[in-house]
Structure 1
């Protein structure tokens, strides 16, 4: 099948010189294709390159037809309306003028072939459960999940032949995810999806794993991919064990050979000292022995080098399973201590009205439909928004991890960001704590603006937990957005190590199950 999307010898580096992609080749035809890989492997960068948002240093990109691209966090000006986000405001205005009798060429140019845009927009909004949103509604009043869906509708209205989606289930509640998956299942063009959402990835025809600068494809959805990788990893682990055993054996053989050579050398030295044979014959014997010993050593060195090469190659096939371990005694909350009291709190946006008492190191999951006001509630707890009703009493230091993870100053390095939030710590202490979050060496000196989703999460968590005063109540708003599965595991590890209380807003049921919550509250 002819590829409708092809990438050849694609290379891209950030201005600081860090290489993201180097000589990547990729080709996909019509169908639903999932793309997975570690955070920082270049998945989002690849989509931006295909969409034309970034320019490669080398290589070519070929697309058969038109491309539509939905980024991870589709932002919007708060002063815009729904029709502005959908990109149809000017077309609707021109249609209105024509209906009132306008014959201006400019109006017909704006409309083009979009005479049915109002009807198509209404149908797409209804299909994604957004029929209740008026076209004149301000974007500032819609939830993060609704904004993602509106941005998707805007792309669908362009009728693209190639659709690129980057973490499209971010901020979506269960019903919205199901509608999105229905749209994906019905897609008839070429679809390339970067996601960590297992249910969405299971709707794919195949899964591509971007690792080590190349993409390897696996047939079927994510469950099939995971099963295939598990078999490969088991074989890779066996290969490592075999290579290690071979290397040990080659080293033992070399030691034994050196022992034999040492014995021969002593015998030769003794014969020389006792003058058992003519001097010329003894000289020839010595030279032959030296040549033989050199060859033997060379053979064993070559075998050891070959064994070591096989071990390195085998180890490269084994995926990295490093773990986060956090030890921050100042975040400890004793059992029974008052942490937070909410009395009839109603946030400025949404329909929540909540009484809540948190004591000790409780772990609470907060779930609910998009637009109910969960994010607004978290901002009310931190004091960033005044409540529409009720009172908030915080008894311990609080920190919030927002949806967009925009707490870091992109112009500063990771280490410099930590220094801002924890000025009394030493450079060595800061770097030691960053290492616990798997940010080591050069990574700590990397500008925050160049971090991937998983790297940004770990750096932001490090800043939050190392802040002064140390937070004893952590609020997390959709923290798994933009994260690959290993990064979600790292987040779970960090929260397992955290010894304070936390409230997490999430639509990711598997993530919530892994956290070992003490309570779940649905609003």
Structure 2
């Protein structure tokens, strides 16, 4: 089996990170001694949740200052964070990053001769036209009024697409994307893949989207010692990792065998030395040698025994160190194992039912239904309706085409797209106990440990947790709440998870016995969860949104 080559050193690397170390204000380490070079190409940055991928991007972007080490970037850099966060009251123009240029253009058109306005515009006199043309490609209205529309009126997927458009308009030398496919529907993802294929300059993308990783030139693995960079796509990387894993497991077996041999030989030699010492003492007691000769023989035997013991101790030590190194190299990721018997719902029990366009759709106990549809079609609005919440714009989306036939009558666990509710808690331990007041701190720690949040993670400040760690805290709050959820509603659950964590989520939900309603654009997740049916939300032009089953 041929192995993909490592990425050759670029003559003019776009980003050089050397000996980077960073810790959060409370002393929690985020990165330690990271050295990696990103070429002027498309690089996928992968690694387990908590390995520091997002933190590394923020350091490269200059948003954080390292405690040690250096970051050198060739040219200007733009960074799109996971949440595409914007300030309250922001508009589409703000999210695109063209608001300052628009203000300068408006001032010039009103007669301003201020050099600062002309500097702000530069050569970009047609920025509005370019922006609207790009937005039209996303299927958004090309009316100039769109630029003044509040970002809060956009769906999560639409906001992400607008933010990506803003980066393309800026044409930076280095682009940093953190989970750019979050909330994107299949059509939007296809557009992003095409944009990545033609992306100018250097691109570093953190993503769990395996399809997106098939459109990069290299994979950098922050979860491996030394952050190795491998040439090729993720499938080529996975092939290489499989070969390396097999070799590591073989090395571990050899190291364990060598350690057993070294220990056995040390025991055998110790037995020989003990016999010789006993023989020497017997000879000395018999008076066979004069005292001075017997003493010399004893001292010589002790020196020889010490040297022999040292040699064998050194061999055992080296073998043990090699075994530890091999064990670390061969170690696979942890597995989530939880038991959720209290979530069971009888298969014949109706959990909820809705009517749309004259057709009734029902969700039954133990059934798994996927909610699909394009960005902005109304999926999140439908979830709010199903959860019995007051939705002021419900009729603007569905009109009279939707009615709830059977309201939800079982305990519900809802995991939203964003984990903002966690910001109200100092740490994960407190967050879990707030959802299950009857549980002791020990119980809460055990729950978090089963979701791979161990050691200091339960008491670490929420702000210091990675996106994936925050997700698992939110998942713990939902799955172990009191009463236990018998309907689990997941809204884009894999947005902030690395690929190993996505697999672990699937493992965790294997033990969930209630009804499941999942909103996801992730085909990989839908396939692994083995959904029983798909409800499609579509919004025909000029008409209300409809829900159909396929």
Query: TM-score band, normalised by the shorter chain?
Result: over 0.9
Q: Per-residue displacement from partner, 1:58-108 (whole Å, max 9, x unpaired)?
A: 232222221111111112356433223223345335545655x63543654
In structure 1, the partner of 2:548 is none
TM-score by length of 2: 0.89
In structure 1, the partner of 2:447 is 433
Secondary structure, aligned partner of 1:54 = coil
Paired residue total: 515
In structure 2, the partner of 1:390 is 403
Is contact 2:132–2:142 with CA below 8 Å preserved after alignment? no
2:326 is aligned, of 296, 314, 335, to: 314
Is contact 2:388–2:407 with CA below 8 Å preserved after alignment? no
- How many Å separate the matches in 2 of 1:296 and 1:184? 63
1:475 is aligned, of 458, 465, 489, to: 489
In structure 2, the partner of 1:272 is 284
Structure-to-structure mapping, 1:436-451, within 5 angstroms: 436-451=450-465
> Which segments of structure 1 move beyond 4 Å, counting only runs of 4 or more?
96-99
In structure 2, the partner of 1:157 is 169
Secondary structure, aligned partner of 2:389 = coil
- How many Å separate the matches in 1 of 2:365 and 2:427? 35
Is contact 1:94–1:107 with CA below 8 Å preserved after alignment? yes
Is contact 2:284–2:294 with CA below 8 Å preserved after alignment? yes
Is contact 1:418–1:463 with CA below 8 Å preserved after alignment? yes
In structure 1, the partner of 2:252 is 240
Structure-to-structure mapping, 1:261-300, within 5 angstroms: 261-300=273-312
2:511 is aligned, of 490, 497, 504, to: 497
The alignment status of 1:337 with 2:349, answered yes or no, reads yes
RMSD over aligned CA atoms reads 2.1
- How many Å separate the matches in 1 of 2:323 and 2:486? 45
- How many Å separate the matches in 1 of 2:294 and 2:118? 105
Is contact 2:471–2:496 with CA below 8 Å preserved after alignment? no
In structure 2, the partner of 1:119 is 129
- How many Å separate the matches in 1 of 2:118 and 2:310? 82
Q: Per-residue displacement from partner, 1:310-356 (whole Å, max 9, x unpaired)?
A: 111112222432111111222122222222222449xxxxxxx9843
Structure-to-structure mapping, 1:125-140, within 5 angstroms: 125-131=135-141, 134-140=146-152
- How many Å separate the matches in 1 of 2:455 and 2:101? 53
Secondary structure, aligned partner of 2:248 = helix
Where structure 1 has 5 or more consecutive residues not aligned to the other structure, the ranges are: 346-352
2:191 is aligned, of 179, 188, 204, to: 179
Q: 1:250 to 1:90 in 2, by over 3 A?
A: closer
Q: 1:243 to 1:354 in 2, by over 3 A?
A: farther
Structure-to-structure mapping, 1:190-269, within 5 angstroms: 190-211=202-223, 214-269=226-281
In structure 2, the partner of 1:33 is 43
1:173, distance to aligned residue in structure 2 (A): 0.8
The alignment status of 1:356 with 2:361, answered yes or no, reads yes
In structure 1, the partner of 2:384 is 379
TM-score by length of 1: 0.93
- How many Å separate the matches in 2 of 1:501 and 1:516? 13
Is contact 2:92–2:148 with CA below 8 Å preserved after alignment? yes
